[in-house]
Amino acid sequence: MRFAIIGAGMAGILATIKLREAGYEDIVVYEKAERVGGTWRENTYPGIACDVPSHAYSYSFELNPEWSHRFSPGDEIQAYFEGVAARHGVHERVRFGEEVVRCERLDGRWHLRTERGTTDVADVVIAATGVLHHPNLPSFEGMDSFEGACFHSARWDHSVPLDGRRVGVIGTGSTAVQITSALVDRVAHFSLFQRTAQWVIKVDNPEFSAAERAAFRNDPAKVKGVHEYLSRSFREAFSSAVIDADSPAMQAIEDQCRANLEDHVTDPVLREQLRPNYRAACKRLVASPDFYEKIQHLNAELVTSPIERIEPNGVRTADGVLHQLDVLVLATGFRPDRFVRPTTVTGRDGVNLDDVWREGPVAYLSIAVPGFPNFFMLNGPNGPVGNFSLIEVAELQMGYILQLLEPVRAGRCREVSPTWEATRNLEAERREAAVGTVWTTGCNSWYLDREGIPATWTFSFDRFCDEMAAPKLDAYELTG
């Protein structure tokens, strides 16, 4: 079989390595950029780090004794992925600067075309395109009139000087909080424009000492032990809590968030401005060692009046105030419903994926779509994006896909795709389970679809592991 992988980020690197381990060698990876790394290549804003501990946010087969911090910075994570790709011979499989624009099922195979006009044919396609990579750009009146530098946080312009300047950030999610912590001490004035207050859990970020890194380096079992401990703790403490809004674990998380706010924000007016009116973790929980301290600096201001328009010299809010700025950063998140799109994907009988997903993206176990045989996604729709490490998720999913392909490899069939019955039944069960999760307790978040149902895995991690352990072939059509 010939494999085409779309994307050379975390999941694309993983897919290439695991396919080769399984004995497949006819593999090509199409990457729109000029380097591997995905989100860690594209996001380079000041303060960027992962909110999953580094020793847990690592491939299980490539544990890293050299992480500098509990939550290591983005450039270290990017270097990690580049190093793994180099050690496993991934780069020679990648065609850089080749964005796949069309993927069409014809005569039992997938026909691909890139923006450059390159064409290819493959038996199996794995879309490793990630979840959060299409920037969500706001459309405020007067956006084009701003005379300073303006850019999205995922398109950071490092040529723009920041020290001693007036910087504004629109947004209060994890990215905006990290930028706040990184820039407040550097700039003349910092304005954080808040539409919705966020719950922030205090998570310290200690540095690993040289002795600790040496111990990890000299004893691989120690690194493995830390990896397993963190993964297990993350599942038991957080992953289990968010799917049961009334659990003691969820109450403990809320208590920590409330204590962080009340213990660290001294101004009662500011404290109430920063206090959300919904439950902790209903929106993606923000982790920070020092956000509340930073936003209280004398040169920092939290702006809660709604943005009315952008003007040449800054941001005008509904209270009539013009917040004069030299730099405006849009930390306004991403479009989480895109997945493999804007690539046009056409399955069996000419069915367009956009039409199948007209009411919202859906996939059986977040991996495969009925009518699109031998087309698989890593971290696809309605998967565990909000409550597990995506590396661990992708590893489990890739193991599942390899098992699913065994009948094809053995010659028992040429195509495998889920049935509509199995997909609809699982989706109905997933939506029913959503009712008890914290994501449906009364907030507006990017997790929610147009009907207010969280577009994520609403079951336990144990259920996910059980599903990934072995495919239930009666949920699939094996044809050809």
- pLDDT at position 234 is 80
- pLDDT at position 447 is 83
Alpha-carbon distance of 240 to 281, in angstroms, equals: 12
State mean pLDDT over 387-400: 91
Residues 365 and 472 in one domain: yes
Q: Of the residues 267, 296, 330, which one is the last residue of a structural domain?
A: 330
Q: Residue 234 falls within a domain, yes or no?
A: no
* Winning range, highest mean pLDDT, from 81-90, 126-135, 388-397: 81-90
Residues 402 and 311 in one domain: no
Please report which confidence band the pLDDT of residue 319 belongs to, taking 50, 70 and 90 as the band edges.
very high
Q: Of the residues 330, 353, 384, which one is the last residue of a structural domain?
A: 330
Residues 475 and 373 in one domain: yes
Q: Residue 236 falls within a domain, yes or no?
A: no
**pLDDT over 90, % of the chain:** 89
Q: Residue 303 falls within a domain, yes or no?
A: yes
Q: Kindly report the average pLDDT of the chain as a whole number.
A: 95
Residues 61 and 191 in one domain: no
- pLDDT at position 386 is 66
- pLDDT at position 387 is 60
Q: Is the pLDDT reported for residue 434 higher than 70? A: yes
Q: Is the pLDDT reported for residue 431 higher than 80? A: yes
State mean pLDDT over 86-90: 98
Residues 314 and 168 in one domain: yes
Q: Residue 221 falls within a domain, yes or no?
A: no
For residue range 223-278, what is the model confidence (pLDDT) as tens digits? Answer: 999 999 998 888 878 888 999 999 999 999 999 999 999 999 999 999 999 999 99
- pLDDT at position 130 is 86
Three-state SS for the chain is CCEEEECCCHHHHHHHHHHHHCCCCCEEEEECCCCCCCHHHHCCCCCCECCCCCCCCCCCCCCCCCCCECCCEHHHHHHHHHHHHHHCCCHHHEEECCCEEEEEEECCEEEEEECCCCEEEECEEEECCCCCCCECCCCCCCHHHCCCEEEEHHHCCCCCCCCCCEEEEECCCHHHHHHHHHHCCCCCEEEEECCCCCCEEECCCCECCHHHHHHHHHCHHHHHHHHHHHHHHHHHHHHHHHCCCCCHHHHHHHHHHHHHHHHHCCCHHHHHHCCCCCCCCCCCCEEECCHHHHHCCCCEEEECCCEEEEECCEEEECCCCEEECCEEEECCCECCCCCCCCCEEECHHHCEHHHHCCCCCCCECCCECCCCCCEEECCCCCCCCCCCCHHHHHHHHHHHHHHHCHHHHCCCCCEEEECHHHHHHHHHHHHHHHHHCHHHCCCCCCCECCCCCECCCCCCHHHHHHHHHCCCHHHEEEEC
Residues 52 and 147 in one domain: no
Domain count of the chain? 2
Q: Model-level pTM?
A: 0.96
Q: Of the residues 281, 314, 330, which one is the last residue of a structural domain?
A: 330
For residue range 182-195, what is the model confidence (pLDDT) as tens digits? Answer: 999 999 999 999 99
Q: Is the pLDDT reported for residue 337 higher than 80? A: no
Residues 126 and 190 in one domain: no
Q: Residue 440 falls within a domain, yes or no?
A: yes
Q: Is the pLDDT reported for residue 385 higher than 80? A: no
Looking at per-residue pLDDT, the higher value among 389 and 277 belongs to 277
Give the domain extent around 269.
143-205+245-330
For residue range 405-425, what is the model confidence (pLDDT) as tens digits? Answer: 999 999 999 999 999 999 999
Q: Residue 226 falls within a domain, yes or no?
A: no
Residues 67 and 102 in one domain: yes
Residues 275 and 187 in one domain: yes
State mean pLDDT over 334-363: 91
Residues 290 and 355 in one domain: no
For residue range 73-83, what is the model confidence (pLDDT) as tens digits? Answer: 999 999 999 99
Residues 299 and 377 in one domain: no
Residues 123 and 171 in one domain: no
Q: Residue 211 falls within a domain, yes or no?
A: no
Q: Residue 189 falls within a domain, yes or no?
A: yes
Alpha-carbon distance of 347 to 477, in angstroms, equals: 14
Q: What is the CATH number of the domain that holds 259?
A: 3.50.50.60
